[in-house]
Structure 1
Amino acid sequence: MKTVASFFVLLFFVVLYGHAQISSNKQLRKNSILESTSESGYSTLLQAVKAADLEQILNEDGPFTVFAPSDKAFAKMSKNKMKVLLQPENRKELFSLLTYHMVAGNLTASKMLLAMSRGNGKASFTTVQGNKIFASMHGLDIVLTDQFGNSAKITTADFNQRNGVIHKIDAVILPEML
């Protein structure tokens, strides 16, 4: 019972925080996901987006929710694996990897928490790549887990953009085929 009460208190603060962020994020809403990614120091992610030919989609279409691995998250991967994925002949695999980190729609942290409260602490979302990703709470953190057991923690949430939202995550979630 105490866990449920704590969860709802956290949900209240996330919703309250989200409303406070709306006014402070107005200048960010002018940018697209791609523009903000290039301005925010996600150099590895930006390099991968360009190599996978996702620039136009992340600049114009949407809305999308992007679970954006930080440069530190990409550094946890084998350097050889990333080098191989960035080669032109592996564009399809890289595209699959990146769309595995995207959900159609504007999925804010408060919406994820609401879905988790309705799902007894868990929620699932279908990625653009076509597989499901599951969200759950671990302490005060939202953790994303895929069907293969790969997981990543959202370290910074709700960078609202004109064509969606970006959540910074601490790991790259790899589709099984990679």
Structure 2
Amino acid sequence: MFKTVQVVVLLNLANCFSQCIATPPKSGPKWSIYDLLDELGLKSFSGLLETTGFMYTLSANASGPFTVYAPTDDAFNNLPPSVMKKLQNDDNWRLLHDLTSYHLTKGNLSFLKWSNNMITSTLLDGTSIRLNIYNNNSGEPSIMSVSGATLIKADQQATNGVVQVIDRVLYSIPDDTISNYIQENSRLRKLAMLMQIAGYQDSLDKQNITLFAPSDAVFEEMGANFTNLLTNASTIKGVYVSGAKLVEEDVSLKNGVLHIINKLL
């Protein structure tokens, strides 16, 4: 039974993505990862590889295999100007090295082998990225993400690994848990207070959590009703989020992902 379900899932994934993100380059796997990045037009990421020396690792067929989660040039252009300024300064070598190695993992990991909330270690010591699969209303996979970045072109095979093209630079390397993030975020102080009253602090330290977090502005609009929440923990546990707008999405943390929303139902 398990094997049958597994085969069906893989077939659905293959069918869903075969006409869009999984189209291989015309050249096939005759290039190394570094050369393939150039063929795919990923100039900004290739430049990082040159600056940090990873180009030599990813050019050698004797090394690897590797899986590279490569942001598009548009992804780099969409970074805040202050971040771009840091990345364009070769004196920030440690930052550039850490950023680049955070986009690289060992092994050839096809998107067909992904599972939701899958964790895979990066070449940056002590860090990992989270792979997610989001299904549509029919239960079929429609979006695949890498620590919040959307996979837009999958399984670009090279002679020494595979390139997965993503739409966002994985710039914010997770170094905190959801619980600590809420405690330290100035926009989520009221939520932190409610979570403590309701006894949810320990739950926020567990693995594979997705939290939709109402901002303080949401609770301020509630006025006196917020005071009622503070004195009634059972009411807090009955509050659910639905139909809210994402104010900030895909905040990748050590034990899950957090979305800040503008509505509490």
TM-score by length of 1: 0.77
Question: Which residue is equivalent to 1:155?
Answer: 152
CA contact (8 A) 1:100 1:127 kept: yes
Question: Which residue is equivalent to 2:134?
Answer: 138
CA contact (8 A) 1:135 1:142 kept: yes
CA separation in 1, counterparts of 2:37 and 2:68?
10
> How many angstroms does 1:76 deviate by?
1.4
Instruction: Give the aligned residue type for 2:154.
Output: A
Helix, strand or coil at the partner of 1:29: coil
CA-to-partner distance for each residue in 1:78-105, whole Å, 9 max, x for gaps?
2342232232221121111011111100
Question: Which residue is equivalent to 2:118?
Answer: 123
Instruction: Give the aligned residue type for 2:43.
Output: S
Higher relative helix content: 1
Question: Which residue is equivalent to 2:210?
Answer: none
Tell me: CA distance 1:162–1:26, structure 2 relative to 1, closer, same or farther (3 Å).
farther
Q: Which structure is larger by alpha-carbon Rg, 1 or 2?
A: 2
CA separation in 2, counterparts of 1:10 and 1:73?
30
CA separation in 2, counterparts of 1:72 and 1:107?
24
CA contact (8 A) 1:86 1:94 kept: no
CA separation in 1, counterparts of 2:39 and 2:27?
13
CA separation in 2, counterparts of 1:168 and 1:50?
18
Tell me: CA distance 1:134–1:176, structure 2 relative to 1, closer, same or farther (3 Å).
closer
Instruction: Give the aligned residue type for 1:133.
Output: I
CA separation in 1, counterparts of 2:25 and 2:79?
32
Instruction: Give the aligned residue type for 1:164.
Output: G
CA separation in 1, counterparts of 2:8 and 2:56?
40
Unpaired runs of 5+ residues, structure 2, are 19-23, 136-141, 176-265
CA separation in 1, counterparts of 2:25 and 2:85?
35
Match of 1:71 among 51, 70, 73: 73
> How many angstroms does 1:12 deviate by?
1.5
Question: Which residue is equivalent to 2:166?
Answer: 169
Tell me: CA distance 1:91–1:15, structure 2 relative to 1, closer, same or farther (3 Å).
same
Instruction: Give the aligned residue type for 1:92.
Output: R
Aligned: 1:12 with 2:11: yes
Instruction: Give the aligned residue type for 1:155.
Output: I
RMSD: 2.6
Instruction: Give the aligned residue type for 1:73.
Output: A
Question: Which residue is equivalent to 2:97?
Answer: 95
CA contact (8 A) 1:48 1:86 kept: no
Unpaired runs of 5+ residues, structure 1, are 19-23, 146-150
CA-to-partner distance for each residue in 1:109-156, whole Å, 9 max, x for gaps?
1111xxx1xxxx3211011113111111123111122xxxxx101111
Helix, strand or coil at the partner of 2:29: helix
TM-score by length of 2: 0.53
